[in-house]
Amino acid sequence: MEDVEFPIRINRYLYLQGHCSRRQADGFIERGLVKINGKPALMGQKVNETDNVVIESEVKNLKKNFEYYLYNKPVGVVSHNANKEKEEMSVEDVFKTPEQVFPVGRLDKDSEGLMLLTNDRRIINKVLSPEFAHEKEYEVTVDKELKSNTSKIMSQGVDIEGYRTKPAIVKDIGKRKLNIVLTEGKKHQIRRMCAALGFQVKKLRRVRIMNMKLGSMPVGQGRKLSFVERKELLESVGMFK
């Protein structure tokens, strides 16, 4: 998982806004269908958060059949093709679907658990951005017994290399086990939070993303979202169809 940081390239901006792929965005830019602050966008141009981006109706009206899947990622599998080493396998390598879908957010190689995959690029930023405070829940096992105040300290926010994490919901569920609910997703955040308090993570499993739960899904298996899950997901990001 990662936060969106400005400035970003215009093609990535259009991708995160759900209008099209980055390759399609390049084509629209070349054809003059995208403007930034009243001027035609240039290839590779960067967008600031305060910039006014205007796109022609041809881009807005791009239609696609959207599909949504849940997958229980095993330890050892990386989230994205772009980040893998030559000998590694990504989620896209091991979880085959009729449609080409992509992971929404990240789950590091040494972690396991729930991932959302879709071809609906409209929802990516709405799911990932901490601005919307969508919950993600984890079960975490550490290397030694928890102190009586560990969960309370962690829930109030922890300094990780100069960044203060947002308040979280943290509960002890065993002598060495925590349940953690976050509304942000800094790189390796939970591992860094635990390290700041003197613990090493031995096992990390994501069990929920927003309304979608891992449940009894076996490791390495996946499924389509149910009608109710899909409806709740789209409603939660402001899309009702």
Residue 241: pLDDT over 50? no
- The answer as to whether 109 is a domain residue is yes
- Containing structural domain, residue 75: 68-129+211-236
Contact predicate 116/127, CB 8 Å: yes
91 shares a domain with 25: no
130: tokens are 């901490």
- The answer as to whether 41 is a domain residue is yes
49 shares a domain with 152: no
Largest Cα–Cα separation, the chain: 62
Q: What total of structural domains would you count in the chain? A: 3
- The answer as to whether 153 is a domain residue is yes
Contact predicate 190/182, CB 8 Å: yes
- 174: helix, coil or strand? strand
102 shares a domain with 205: no
Render pLDDT for 197-230 as a digit per residue (tens, 0 to 9): 999 999 999 999 999 999 999 999 999 999 889 8
- 10: helix, coil or strand? helix
Active site residues per annotation: 108
231 shares a domain with 118: yes
142 shares a domain with 25: no
- The answer as to whether 241 is a domain residue is no
186 shares a domain with 174: yes
Q: Which helix (H) or strand (E) holds 122?
A: none
Query: pTM above 0.85?
Result: no
75: tokens are 């330890």
Render pLDDT for 62-86 as a digit per residue (tens, 0 to 9): 546 789 999 999 999 998 876 678 7
Residue 165 CB partners (closer than 8 Å, separation 6+): 157, 158, 159, 184, 186, 189, 193
